Amino acid sequence: MRVLPYLFYLILIAIHVVILQDLTAVYAATINLPALIVLLVAVYKDDVPATWFGFFAGLTAAAGLPFGLGWHALVMAALALAVWYVRQRLNLESLGARLLLVVGGVLLHNVATLVIVRADSFVTLLWASALTGAVYTTIFAWLFFLAREGRVTYQKIKALF
């Protein structure tokens, strides 16, 4: 197992949480990049590296919230393991199936985060933040899957203009 890509992912998560999260927010909807990266690692890697990466990604993403640090790490590790088991049981060859897995996983993570931080207006934040953030993150996952499958390439974009 090579460690360097995982360290790069953790640095990307840290940069997103510290710098880019507020810049990419649209009203209350933010890209949940830590959950997206954990989901992608769980889809494309084995269960043990995905679970450990989910744990360390949870620690990295919640470093600014020390009161819930362990809970975030536990939720991310459980999410990675659950997505890996879903990947083993279901056929994720179609783009729609992978996008449903991403939107469900990110929505589950957003709801778990709301429960961990004990948000006051849970129902309002469920609609305004959790659901819209899951859709916003799924748009970026869709672009990633299109680029990974070769449906969107530099040559195709260049041909449009």
Give one DSSP letter per residue of 103-121, joined into a string: HHHHHHHHHHHHHHTT-SS
Calculate the alpha carbon distances from 106 to 4, 122, 147, 161 in Å.
25, 17, 20, 34
Mean pLDDT of 57-75: 88
The pLDDT of residue 114 = 87
Mean pLDDT of 76-90: 93
Task: Name the percent of the chain lying above pLDDT 90.
Answer: 58
Distance CA 18, CA 87 (A): 31
pTM across the whole model: 0.90
Q: What is the pLDDT of residues 5-59, one digit of tens each?
A: 999 999 999 999 999 988 988 888 899 999 999 999 999 999 999 999 999 999 9
CB atoms within 10 A of CB 157: 9
Q: Does residue 150 come out as left (phi exceeding 0), alpha (psi in the -120 to 50 range) or beta?
A: left
Mean pLDDT of 95-108: 93
The pLDDT of residue 1 = 65
Mean pLDDT of 83-106: 91
